[in-house]
Structure 1
Amino acid sequence: MINDFIEMFVIDKPEQFRIINLEFGVNVISDIPVQDLITRAEYHGKNRFLSDSGLKYSKKSYTANKYGQANNYKTIKFYAKGLQFPEYADKNLFRFEVKSKKSQYINTLGISDLSDLLKYDVYSRLTAAILSEFREVLILYSKSANGLSRGQANSLEKYLNTYTWFEVLQKHRNQFYRMKKRFLNLLDQTGYNIHKVTYKAIEGKLDYLNSQQKEIKYNRGAFLPPISKTKRVQIYIYIYYQTAPLCLTRICPVTGLNLNSEEAGSKYAKSKTLKELQRKDPMLFNIIRYDLLKDCLKRPQDAPTEIDHLTKQIRNRHYKLNRPKNMFYWTHYKANDITNSCKLTKKAKMIEKKRIISNRNIFQYSLDFCY
């Protein structure tokens, strides 16, 4: 339980532990041989499932940049858990999992620090997220063509071909989902739709787990049923701890600035925050200004002031899943490290590459839950 972790490390204020890496998922026994299920899983959304090197019957899906590098915003993992741990689990046990290393996504689940993992409603959001992500999965599997006409049977055979889906991705962006809808309708007519069968199994397992949690008092924290050999899961939680008290949980994911001055619901720093920073800490403002404008010095016509230009750059980075590397700031530096023109000197660039961690720690802890 989360409470065990808190007691082990003597954590008095769990709200000071920020969650920076989260993996959550569910283990379910497949209705068909798990090898067939994983093999035939081809797409999550429009992202193709790729094989995990070194792991049998294990796939993951993610959005990649133009260099083929996976983003850390969200990764979907789908693998045969029972084949990896045959001594503990049913051979047809599979795991469907969501992984994220971005607070931008983790915060949408109502999780920002360790104290949030003690709330029951957070697990309801995780349940909804798992079901939502599985609805995006495309599995090219059919038991038979019973109940279909000859033309429908030919269409079904065409849809079971992976090349068909690759070709449709080259067409109009909506064509993929239209064809997926037709494919699922044909599976319904055959009397066996692997998507619906597996979805109901996942939904039933999650409903059972949530019903078990309701029986535990709120102050007991996160709870999952007793460990079973055939239903075991390991959740890794990476916790970022800052020794200085975290008074605010609303932080701009692009600049790292507090959003106290912004209206409720603001997701990133805007003109009010930037003007306040320029007045109170000109040096830090110049650092942020340099980083945001180094690749786009020319101000567009729709940005009459420099503050407007900076706000638009922050907005653009916020809505891009593949954002540039995180910016690092420091609190101890000499004024001559940064020139008046905001161009960093060679010494200042060396400082920028070093992250100040003198008052920070990162812990990794493994929690075993029954799922």
Structure 2
Amino acid sequence: MPQPSDTILTRLMTLHPKVIDLTLDRVERLLVALGHPERALPPVIHIAGTNGKGSTLAMLRAGMEASGKRVHAYTSPHLARFHERIRLAGAIIPEPMLAALLDECEAANLGQPITFFEITTCAAFLGFARTAADYTLLEVGLGGRLDATNVVAQPALTIITPVSIDHQQYLGETLPEIAGEKAGILKRGVACIVGPQQPEALAVIEARAARLGAPLCVHGQHWHAFEERGRLVFQDETGLLDLPLPNLPGPHQIENAGAALAALRHLGFDGSACEAAVTRAEWPARMQRLTRGPLVEAAPKAELWLDGGHNPAGGQAIATTLARLPRRPTHLIVGMLNTKDIAGYMRPLAGQAATLTAVSIPGEPNTLSADATMAAARAAGIPASTAESVLAAVRALVAAEPRARILICGSLYLAGGVLRENG
């Protein structure tokens, strides 16, 4: 009988000296040993991009499931527990099955070097191949071209959400270089839905698609999505949809919804599936309103929000969302990783934040210190201080202003910790 999944996962982290080492050699070797589960997946929709991958996937899943389809989904990172990364036919993978799959992959790997993401991706593929479903939604972990998910030879469809600067140490310093890595998921003859892009990123995607004969369905050319009179209007070559605004908050979700709707229409789903995509999607830590748990109990009259965005585009999305909310001083509680562009993240928030309280991320070796985060906030013009923890920061803020609007943000790792502790 396999050990608990947590025990196996801890052991799998030791199989490679690096957390990230982009290549397909190791994952392809293990998939051979496992009998090529990646060749037996239900039709795959493969999603790359810098921001919006997860939200787009969540909307796709909501639309498909509302139409009675069974849908596998693979996302990363997880927030509260690893099991969230793997959904089998709509349900989070049960512990006994996860432990058994991880055990099987560990045995087949024979102790050879492989990264944690690579071996757990193989476990997901094994589970997907053995469980009946209509579709498989695969979110790229990092980049695209050399990401462990990029082993499916013939997906049903690919999607590239907005590309921006992030993970430069792995993907390249310039937007065209990063777009080239994301465009690595394009496959010969397979259509790709392209979300809003800066011109230099779109040029790279279009050039690769032309080489591969991959038809593109591009935002602003083949489809449009915009807000009009409190509704979401979507238009493509087959007609117009007039839908409610996305239930995921923030103006940027209009664009993510557009990509999901373009994909659903391409796959032949009807208007009811499209409406469900925008009204039923669930995606925690993306401008999520907290309504229960110790943090809410510590601030019963306050408005508490949580967001995991962590790059300049994420900071801009938060700022735009805050600007749309009813006017009220907003106090940020921020913890970030030391690998992120903190100045770029802070810049758009300066106009929306009354104060910022900096924290370090508990249990995260790559956390930026609270002092460094405070210094970056002050450099961006935001009045800032530090606190020992998120809870301490919340208590201090509501002691001064009981009805404060408080947004906890800066990292998915911080958001995951908040969700674990807050139930």
TM-score norm. by structure 2 comes to 0.26
**RCO comparison, higher one (Cα < 8 Å, 6+):** 1
Q: With structure 1 as the length reference, what TM-score do the two structures score?
A: 0.28
